[in-house]
């Protein structure tokens, strides 16, 4: 595996830690910025909206640059946003900082995953993506508790300064550890990359990713109140359970990465089916501690861990360029927004188990979007001698790609 893939994971870790930091320090930030807790909650929404809608715009702005140069530009923008957050003297400045860091973060995902595709052989692309996406999993497992601990002990501004230091380290590692790769000849232009969005199949694939993540986050967003108020765990026990959940995502991510290249569609179908079972089981057994924890860990194993298979599938349906990868990340972010926001609505109507049922319904809907590809794959496997189905065949470099 190229060293650069591990370096990209460090950059993703910095971005994800910045995304989550507000969630762990809401009371402290509310006091420091003279705002209410709901207003601080809007900072999380603003970051997600900036990722979903601003990320593709920023990607278009940097896509004509060589990949490493584009990453360094995005690091600079992201760093500026974090410094602004650490020094913010009011709510408006913090809101601006979250928007800046959100847009840069999403574009970094797109450019970074596109670079992963160019640096690795198609046969191991899923494994490479899994390595890079470990930055996301470790951001949940380590980044959030680390930033929360720093913020509680030294003040919330210290948490943002710590993220700034991590960002500088990641940027230096990228400068030294990522090879110079020129923009592919004949590719990289907006028209060349945007043309693939005329394919209806790509939109179906993108919708699958949105539903996979939406199903998971409709539950994950409310694990804390569910585990304390329904299951009966103490508030001090929940962080330990969430760390176990984060560990499950790391295991699942690496397992899916090993299977994603050769069994992309079956892995997604199995993951969605299992997630349906775990979410429904959690909803039914939420008042029983052992079954509830097992179901929660099951969601960790088969929820966000579908990312490597999702990315491989999107790259096969479209291309491996930065714009396609960024738009895919935007659909994932939309899934987070939909799952968490609709989850809040159903809690008001039906109680704390409702987001778990919502997640199960979204997982079933996601499974329905995968079934046509699964049927085509089964038909191709049954045929005597035929070309492999498009989504199960090893991915070929798109015209805009150039491996080095």
Domains and CATH numbers, the chain: 1-178 (1.20.1250.20), 192-392 (1.20.1250.20)
User: Could you read off the pLDDT tens digit of each residue along the chain, which spans 404 residues?
Assistant: 789 999 999 999 999 999 888 878 888 898 999 988 778 888 888 898 999 999 999 999 998 899 999 999 999 999 999 999 999 999 999 999 999 999 999 999 999 998 988 888 888 888 899 999 999 889 878 888 888 889 889 999 999 999 999 999 999 999 999 998 876 544 456 777 788 999 999 999 999 999 999 999 999 888 988 999 999 999 888 888 988 999 999 999 999 999 999 999 999 999 999 999 999 999 999 999 999 999 999 999 999 999 999 999 999 999 888 999 999 999 999 999 999 889 989 998 999 999 999 999 999 999 999 999 988 887 877 776 554 444 444 444 444 333 32
Q: How many CB atoms lie within 10 A of CB 225?
A: 13
Give the CA distances from residue 155 to residues 14, 19, 84, 218, 226, in Å, rounded to whole numbers and listed in that order: 19, 18, 16, 30, 28
* Sign of the alpha-carbon torsion through 212, 245, 279, 262: positive
CA 210 and chain centroid, separation: 10
Question: Cα–Cα distance between 347 and 361 in angstroms, integer?
Answer: 15
Question: Cα–Cα distance between 231 and 285 in angstroms, integer?
Answer: 9
* Residue 245 φ then ψ, to 5°: -60, -45
Pick left, alpha or beta for residue 394 (phi over 0 → left; psi -120 to 50 → alpha; otherwise beta): beta
pTM score > 0.75 for this model? yes
| pLDDT at 193 (0 to 100) | 79
Q: Which two tokens stand for residue 360?
A: 């199960």
Residues with Cβ within 8 Å of 232's Cβ and at least 6 positions away in sequence, in order, are 287, 289
Residue 107: strand, helix, or coil: helix
| pLDDT at 340 (0 to 100) | 87
Residue 340: strand, helix, or coil: helix
Q: Is 402 exposed, middle or buried (0-12, 13-18, 19+ CB in 10 A)?
A: middle
| pLDDT at 403 (0 to 100) | 34
At CB < 8 A and 24+ separation, what contacts does 62-66 make? 62/107, 62/111, 62/322, 63/111, 63/188, 63/189, 63/190, 63/193, 63/321, 63/322, 63/323, 64/183, 64/188, 64/189, 65/183, 66/180, 66/181, 66/182, 66/183
| pLDDT at 188 (0 to 100) | 52
Residues in the chain: 404
Question: Cα–Cα distance between 215 and 279 in angstroms, integer?
Answer: 9
| pLDDT at 95 (0 to 100) | 96
Give the CA distances from residue 401 to residues 28, 224, 319, in Å, rounded to whole numbers and listed in that order: 46, 43, 8
Q: Which two tokens stand for residue 175?
A: 């400068």
Q: Is 404 exposed, middle or buried (0-12, 13-18, 19+ CB in 10 A)?
A: exposed
| pLDDT at 87 (0 to 100) | 96
């Amino acid at each position: 595996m190229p060293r650069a893939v591990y370096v990209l994971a460090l950059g993703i870790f910095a971005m994800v830690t910045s995304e989550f930091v507000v969630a762990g320090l809401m009371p402290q930030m509310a006091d420091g910025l003279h705002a209410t807790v709901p207003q601080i909650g809007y900072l999380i929404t603003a970051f997600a909206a900036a990722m979903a809608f601003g990320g593709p715009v920023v990607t278009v702005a940097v896509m004509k640059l060589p990949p490493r140069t584009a990453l360094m530009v995005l690091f600079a923008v992201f760093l500026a946003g974090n410094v602004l957050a650490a020094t913010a003297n009011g709510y408006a400045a913090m809101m601006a900082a979250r928007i800046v860091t959100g847009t840069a973060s999403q574009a970094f995902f797109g450019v970074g995953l596109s670079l992963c595709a160019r640096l690795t052989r198609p046969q191991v692309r899923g494994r490479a993506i899994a390595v890079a996406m470990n930055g996301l999993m470790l951001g949940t497992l380590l980044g959030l508790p680390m930033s929360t601990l720093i913020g509680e002990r030294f003040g919330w501004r210290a948490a943002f300064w710590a993220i700034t230091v991590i960002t500088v380290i990641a940027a230096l590692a990228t400068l030294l550890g990522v090879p110079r790769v020129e923009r592919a000849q004949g590719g990289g232009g907006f028209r060349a990359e945007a043309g693939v969005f005329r394919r209806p199949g790509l939109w179906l694939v993108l919708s699958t990713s949105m539903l996979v993540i939406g199903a998971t986050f409709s539950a994950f967003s409310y694990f804390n109140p569910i585990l304390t108020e329904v299951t009966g765990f103490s508030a001090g026990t929940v962080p330990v359970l969430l760390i176990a959940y984060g560990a499950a995502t790391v295991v699942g991510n690496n397992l899916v990465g090993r299977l994603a290249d050769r069994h992309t569609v079956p892995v997604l179908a199995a993951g969605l089916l299992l997630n349906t079972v775990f979410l429904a089981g959690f909803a039914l057994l939420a008042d029983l501690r052992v079954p509830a924890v097992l179901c929660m860990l099951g969601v960790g194993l088969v929820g966000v861990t579908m990312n490597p298979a999702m990315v491989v599938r999107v790259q096969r349906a479209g291309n491996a360029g930065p714009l396609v990868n960024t738009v895919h990340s935007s659909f994932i972010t939309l899934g987070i927004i939909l799952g968490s926001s609709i989850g809040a609505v159903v809690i008001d109507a039906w109680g704390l188990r409702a987001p778990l049922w919502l997640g199960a319904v979204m997982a079933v809907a996601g499974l329905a979007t995968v079934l046509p590809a699964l049927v085509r794959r089964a038909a191709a496997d049954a045929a005597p001698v035929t070309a492999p189905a498009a989504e199960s065949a090893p991915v070929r470099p798109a015209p805009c790609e150039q491996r080095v």
